[in-house]
Amino acid sequence: MKASVATIGGKKKLTKLKLLLLISMPFILALAALTIGRYPVSLTHIWAVLTNGFLLTEVEVPDAVRTVILDIRIPRIIAAILIGMALSVSGAAFQGTFRNPLVSPDILGVSAGAGFGATLAIINSWGSLGIAFSAFGFGLFAVWLTFFLSNKIKNSGEITLIMVLGGMLVGTIFTSLVSLIKCVADPYEKLPAITYWLMGSLSSIQMNDIYLVILPMLIGLIPLWLLRWKLNLLAFGDEEAKSLGVNTDRLRLVVIICATLLTASSVAISGMIGWVGLVIPHFARSITGPNYRSLLPVTVLVGGSFLLVVDTLARSLLPMEIPLGILTSLIGAPFFLYLLAHSRRGWK
Amino acid sequence: MSLEIRNLSFGYSSNKLIFEGVSLKVEKGEVVCLLGPNGAGKTTLFKTILGLYKARQGQVLVNGKDVSNCSRRELAKEMGYVPQNHMPPFPYSVIDVVLMGRTAHINNYAVPSDLDLQIAREAMANVNISYLEDKNYTEISGGERQLVLIARALAQQPQILIMDEPTSNLDYGNQIRLLSHIKRLAKQGLSIVMSTHYPDHALYCADKAIMLKDGHIICSGTSEEVLTEHNLSKIYGIDVQIMDTVVKNGEQKKICVPVVA
């Protein structure tokens, strides 16, 4: 083991092959996902459409195929990868920040808040853009409320613990409000829309949705990526991190803002998608170990790939579309159990 | 380098102070031992010195500069902290843990460089734990974890080392080895403030000793002045005898023996 190779420090460095496989995985899966679906699309057609006929000028692509590829599948594939990445990264960041392996991205109430925002928008018929904005806004608001309340009541206790409790509180309030709205919603038109939104789906994703969230997602992702080594220190607790030279209050605030932006943007266009943010960081940790320096990049790759696979299953497994949120839970929960049983490296 | 504590007090609430009016001066290359019964306020005092708790009164001056005006990064370059043994929630490898000592020397958005790795490895070699490098921090023994935390503090390259009961988890051999390490580090110019429950440890390696009881300094001075039968009986409530012996190698030593029926 030479120093130059071992700069990551720590055991089980990723081999070049493994790394290459991880990096190429989302692309291979995306290509596969393009061909899969009720409307069969050949690789030749995909090539012709994507490269605008490069090398295959003689191939005639039917308009329907072009529409399926460009307007339906590509936006959906991009959205699945982005959302999977966003939820997984924010889950991974929160698990270290709150020093708890069972934390998921909604720990501070962002999903509950976004759910309320979307419900409010649906019942007022604000349209799909209105739903996205309202969900995004209330998601941020819920986390701000949690943050504000826990800073108000913090005494000598550990602030992270108070924040988790505050998040539960705020989450409960917004979930109850959603139930209240469902109770009074028009049962033929609004209620199914609300229920369907809450189950999470990418079936109506368009390129415009992606343009809408790509900026907040990048604003959330880039700082976390740059700070990824520092995230390790939060896992050792406030006092130690401080004595090692970290301004923990500021770092934690940055993490919370970034992770919240990532989750809120995801939920705004997809609805509630559970378990990804909890399971994927553990899976990634079983590959790289807990050091965020390599954990975070692998989480990005695995998270994006995972949600793409699940979403492709959701739209192709049954004649009707299965809501994505249901499928991630159905797959995620047993998968988590498997990880618990088989990886001692993950956490203990 | 100098560490000076002036009339320091801290309490979670102002009417109930954990310790009060503590003053202390530590010179370069000095080992200062803090003794006191459980609950005397030793750990709290350390955390206040490190600026983790905000002092109610008084000042902590590092090189004449008040720590409450220093950034965490500035402070970390001056003072290293070896906390009592604990477990992080994730199984970091030992080298990862030691590398965290480099935090204050690494830019905000950077990752440790090869130089940092080299310094971390030297710190581990300094306390003879190079063989632990690739082990999981959560899977080694308590004593080994203690040494890893010391290596981490050394990787931080501070001028002052604050150690909270560094010998508490070690076996007999490792306790003595650690104390020799501490003596050697002090010779290298590091100032060390440590707490211990063993009078013998203070007699063995401390230049100065301080006794803390119920948040007040009972006495301070050279370790031989402080570690007397009278003082030890007073703070621990048991009868002890300090004996002069000559060890095999001809060295004069004082040892502390409890007198029990």
pLDDT in tens, chain B (261 residues): 789 999 999 998 888 889 999 999 999 999 999 999 998 999 999 999 999 999 999 999 998 889 888 999 999 999 999 998 778 888 899 999 999 999 999 998 889 999 999 999 999 998 889 999 999 998 998 889 999 999 999 999 999 999 999 988 888 988 998 899 899 999 989 999 999 999 999 999 999 999 999 999 999 999 889 999 999 999 999 999 999 999 898 888 889 999 986
Confirm whether A43 is domain-assigned: no
Please give the pLDDT value at position B252.
Answer: 87
Window 71-110 of B: residues touching A by CB (8 A cutoff) are 71-73, 75-77, 79-81, 83, 86, 88-93, 95-96, 99-101, 103-104, 106, 108-110
Q: What would you report as the CA-atom Rg of chain B, rounded to the nearest whole angstrom?
A: 19
Residue A181 CB neighbours (<10 A): 18
Residues of A in contact with B138 (CB under 8 A): 348
Which residue type is seen at A272? Answer: M
Positions of chain A with pLDDT under 70:
1-13, 53, 56-57, 155-157, 343-348
Within 13 Å of residue A112, how many CA atoms lie on the same side as its CB? 23
Structure tokens given for A191: 């209620």
Closest-CA distance, A255 to chain B, in angstroms, reads 13
Please give the pLDDT value at position A116.
Answer: 97
- Chain A, nearest residue to B114 by Cα: A7
Residues of A in contact with B81 (CB under 8 A): 240, 243-244
Tell me how far apart the alpha carbons of residues A321 and A337 are, in angstroms, rounded to a whole number. 26
Give Cα A58 to chain centroid, integer Å. Answer: 41
Q: Does B114 touch chain A (CB under 8 A)?
A: yes
Tell me how far apart the alpha carbons of residues A157 and A343 are, in angstroms, rounded to a whole number. 32
- CATH 3.40.50.300 assigned to domain B3-258? The reply is yes
Are B220 and B209 in contact by the 8 Å Cβ rule? The answer is: yes
Please give the pLDDT value at position B130.
Answer: 95
Q: Does A96 touch chain B (CB under 8 A)?
A: yes
Tell me how far apart the alpha carbons of residues A107 and A153 are, in angstroms, rounded to a whole number. 18
Which of A227, A244, A347 to mutate against chain B (most B CBs within 10 Å)? A244
Please give the pLDDT value at position A346.
Answer: 45
What DSSP state is assigned to residue A275? S
Dmax (CA) for chain B in angstroms is: 62
Q: What is the pLDDT of residues A248-301, one digit of tens each?
A: 999 999 999 999 999 999 999 999 998 999 999 999 998 888 999 999 999 999
Tell me how far apart the alpha carbons of residues B154 and B148 are, in angstroms, rounded to a whole number. 10
> pTM of this prediction?
0.91
Are A170 and A142 in contact by the 8 Å Cβ rule? The answer is: yes
Tell me how far apart the alpha carbons of residues A191 and A194 are, in angstroms, rounded to a whole number. 5
Please give the pLDDT value at position B193.
Answer: 96
Tell me how far apart the alpha carbons of residues B166 and A95 are, in angstroms, rounded to a whole number. 29
Tell me how far apart the alpha carbons of residues B235 and A259 are, in angstroms, rounded to a whole number. 51
Q: What are phi and psi of B16, to 5 degrees?
A: -130, 95
Torsion of CA B225, B226, B229, B230, to 10 degrees: 100
Tell me how far apart the alpha carbons of residues A176 and A183 are, in angstroms, rounded to a whole number. 10
Classify A214 as helix, strand or coil.
helix
The dihedral sign for the CA sequence A159, A162, A168, A169: negative
- Complex-level ipTM: 0.92
Contact A289 B108 (CB under 8 A): no
Residues of B in contact with A92 (CB under 8 A): none
Tell me how far apart the alpha carbons of residues B119 and B125 are, in angstroms, rounded to a whole number. 10
- Chain B, nearest residue to A347 by Cα: B90
Confirm whether A54 is domain-assigned: no
Confirm whether A13 is domain-assigned: no
Please state the three-class secondary structure of chain B as a single string: CCEEEEEEEECCECCECCEEEEEEEECCCCEEEEECCCCCCHHHHHHHHCCCCCCCEEEEEECCEEHHHCCHHHHHHHEEEECCCCCCCCCCEHHHHHHHHHHHHCCCCCCCCHHHHHHHHHHHHHCCCHHHCCCEHHHCCHHHHHHHHHHHHHHCCCCEEEECCCCCCCCHHHHHHHHHHHHHHHHCCCEEEEECCCHHHHHHHCCEEEEEECCEEEEEEEHHHHCCHHHHHHHHCCCEEEEEEECCCCCEEEEEEECCC
Q: Beta B208-213 vs B216-222: how paired, if at all? A: antiparallel
Domain region containing A119: 66-342
Torsion of CA A325, A326, A329, A334, to 10 degrees: -150
Confirm whether A300 is domain-assigned: yes
Closest-CA distance, A157 to chain B, in angstroms, reads 11
Q: Does A100 touch chain B (CB under 8 A)?
A: yes
Q: Which residues of B72-88 are buried (b: 16+ CB within 10 A; e: fewer)?
A: bbebbbbbbbbbebeeb
Tell me how far apart the alpha carbons of residues B134 and B140 are, in angstroms, rounded to a whole number. 11
Q: What's the Cα-to-Cα distance from B41 to each of A184, A226, A294, B19, B48, rounded to whole Å?
A: 59, 39, 40, 6, 10
Confirm whether A32 is domain-assigned: no
Q: How many domains does chain A have?
A: 1
Contact B111 A228 (CB under 8 A): yes
Torsion of CA A61, A64, A69, A75, to 10 degrees: 150
Q: Beta B79-82 vs B160-163: how paired, if at all? A: parallel
Tell me how far apart the alpha carbons of residues A69 and B47 are, in angstroms, rounded to a whole number. 61
Are B216 and B210 in contact by the 8 Å Cβ rule? The answer is: no
Closest-CA distance, A170 to chain B, in angstroms, reads 26
The domain that holds A174 is classified in CATH as 1.10.3470.10
Residues of A in contact with B99 (CB under 8 A): 9
Confirm whether A58 is domain-assigned: no
Q: Does B33 touch chain A (CB under 8 A)?
A: no
Structure tokens given for B154: 């050394």
Contact A289 B114 (CB under 8 A): no
Tell me how far apart the alpha carbons of residues A133 and A193 are, in angstroms, rounded to a whole number. 17
Tell me how far apart the alpha carbons of residues A214 and A266 are, in angstroms, rounded to a whole number. 10
Q: Beta B79-82 vs B240-246: how paired, if at all? A: unpaired
Residue B61 CB neighbours (<10 A): 14
